Structure 1
Amino acid sequence: MRQWAGGRARSAGIDRRDLLRLVAAASVAVPLASAAAPAYAAESLPGVVKPLPADLFTIRGTNAETNFAALRGTGVLTPTDRFFVRNHTATPRIEAADWKLTVWGDGLTGAPVDFSYDALRALPSVTRTAFVECAGNGRSFYTSQQNQQVSGTAWTLGAIGTARWRGVPLRTVLRRAGIGRHAVDVLPRGVDAEVVTDGTNLGRVRRPLPVSKALDDVLLAYEMNGEPLPPDHGFPVRLVVPSWVGIANIKWVGDIEVSAEPLVSPWNTTLYRLFGPGYPAEGSAPLTRQTLKSAFELPLGASFTAHRPVHLTGRSWSGGAPVRSVEVSTDGGVRWRRARLRDEPRAGSWVRWSAPWVPDRTGPGVLLARATDRSGRTQPETAAHNTQGYLFDAVVRHPVTVV
């Protein structure tokens, strides 16, 4: 934003006055209950193609959150039928034969280059296991645990999924298109409908990546868990940006602008920055890496029988480094003990863990899980507040009842 205000960055597709107005609004927190769409159980959702059984998903506006308990008994990869859905508008239905990817912009050394679906699939491919997680995952706990006002979708911890993605490295496509040494930003854009908020048309979802990241580990994926991408998850082609916030993982990508100057869009200015006390008026730098989290594979409010052995399970993940260890408390944080890791920790993926427990007293209780990653970072007791509720990383208090 400072570059843009100083004339050193270009706004990609939105009027300057509208963007400044939205930046000002982004710095004001509102009560989550009034800002968030209501949650409810349903078997389907207009704008989403796949079934959404109530035992697997909670509907939140145009989105479907995975019920974390539904992951119990599944492997490291999230089954496609349980993978969360984050839509700004509605899932478009696209025929592969009608689709093309156009790479263009003044950051290229030549004219725009088109890639058909078949041409893209003919390029050398790689397979990568990575999680995709909404930046607002865990947002509801700012309010329920920390009594702080935030705006946005009231996710618990189910706005995440891990899959095995197959596709073409973005750097391969950029180099074939003739990316120049003078290129600065790369802007992928989806072909889903334009987004209108507060009476302002924000255009199609798009968010610039620095060239350094675009040429690193980003994938133009066309397969998910060994099958062609389902419509809700980006068919025919989507970006996978390992360890970065979900908005960077543009679905239904149709064109990529390569720019010789910095770019801004609503998704790296008014959205996906941190606003509030302690942050500049224009917000923090655009969000990149995800944070550190842990979740039990249990419904909130789960019930257990006293003196009967229980096998607690859950998952922990970090965008910064592989998870090194996980601790569990069954007495509200008085005592902690190591959980057993069930997977080899890997960058960009989560690790499953388990811990035995024999409840010894009846009544309400609280389970806690906290992870430490290989960078030495441990989940804190409280998350740093920001008005839009991003990057919640505190230990979640998971209520249970023993009968």
Structure 2
Amino acid sequence: MSKAISGFSKLTKEQKIAWLADNYFQNPDEATSLLKQYWNDDAPLQKLHDEFIENTITNFYLPLGIAPSFTINGKDYTIPMAIEESSVIAAASKAAKFWSTRGGFKATILNTEKIGQVHFKYEGDAQKLTQFFETVKPKLFSDTEDITKNMQKRGGGILDITLRDKTALIDGYYQLHATFETVDSMGANFINSCLEQFSKTLRQEALTYAPFTEEEKHIQVIMSILSNYVPNCVVRAEVSCPVEDLNEDKNIKPEEFAQKFVTAINIAEVEPFRAVTHNKGIMNGIDAVVVATGNDFRAVEAGVHAYAAKDGQYTSLSHAKIENGIFTFWLDVPLALGTVGGLTTLHPLVKFCLEMLGNPSAKELMQIVAVAGLAQNFGAVRSLTTTGIQQGHMKMHLMNILNQLGANDNEKKATIKHFEKHTVSHAAVAELLEGLRKTDTTTIE
């Protein structure tokens, strides 16, 4: 029997939940009860959450944690991170503390240019289209003045518009390629509004452009949309210190650690299979701060991975070197972020997180986010080249395993104590719990 429904969006939340529970769950009451557990009893706040998206039925929570001890460009930060993965915040915090005594992190904005495109089809003489574009270009700017005037007051606006011939790829395919400065906003709505006006002006002006033939006058706009690939909206984060100062781990000499670390980064630069996992670790730190500050982590992810492949092969976002006895580790990453508009002014916890960071500008937030990614990467590569990744990760993951297996408080305490000296695995934890329960004791060695 079909479960298709008409007019679902017009139902109340209670009606939506009742329909969902009755049609998809063996125990409708249990399903409904679970959804209600995640409702916020504060009606105004819940109404706000409900209106972020369509067809809301409840809230889906992520843990919000903090990573203290970050020093960035001489300023101290405690960084908010919203993420569900064990060990991410611990690794970032450990790296932050390590570098806080070695000069801290340095971050530099390399550029803040964002991009939008009008994709269109034109069947005709390419030279005439180029001449038409040069004629109409001033009007593209003037016709968007109502959209751009407030952005211009803040120091932003349209930087440039160019015509790009893509006919070698698709017959008749051209672009208006526009660049923007959006200051403290991510700028998606602003850019898209400008682009849609460009497309209207382009079509209208073409209809009265005398050199065009009747066919050439009918330009077909396919779509007008911003790009999440922002190779000229890039921030650099870096750390450096004398090699002898890499002396935290007494089990490995600083010189050996530095060489192994640099080699590990070199491997990620040349081996795509390693680079993907390497960059995923960077994104553990980046995404967690992007989510906590109400920015679009999907857009960031898409742009970052495109940037990692910009030279034809997917490669590491971070780099390391040893020169004249100095160890340097850095990261270049494209980040189109905002601190005004969108959820930044609506979501109470986003506002809380931004205030925790000192209500940063978009440029400062770019620096903070990039540093979080670099810190996460440093922690991961340090573990990989010394103790191995699983020792720390599985100990952090231990509580998740215990909760999955329904351990009580006494069983958790005994199990945590046991695995201070033993390797954690799901099977080992399950076996230990089974033994505890058979002997009805929590005293183990």
Greater helix share, 1 or 2?
2
Whose Rg is larger? Answer: 2
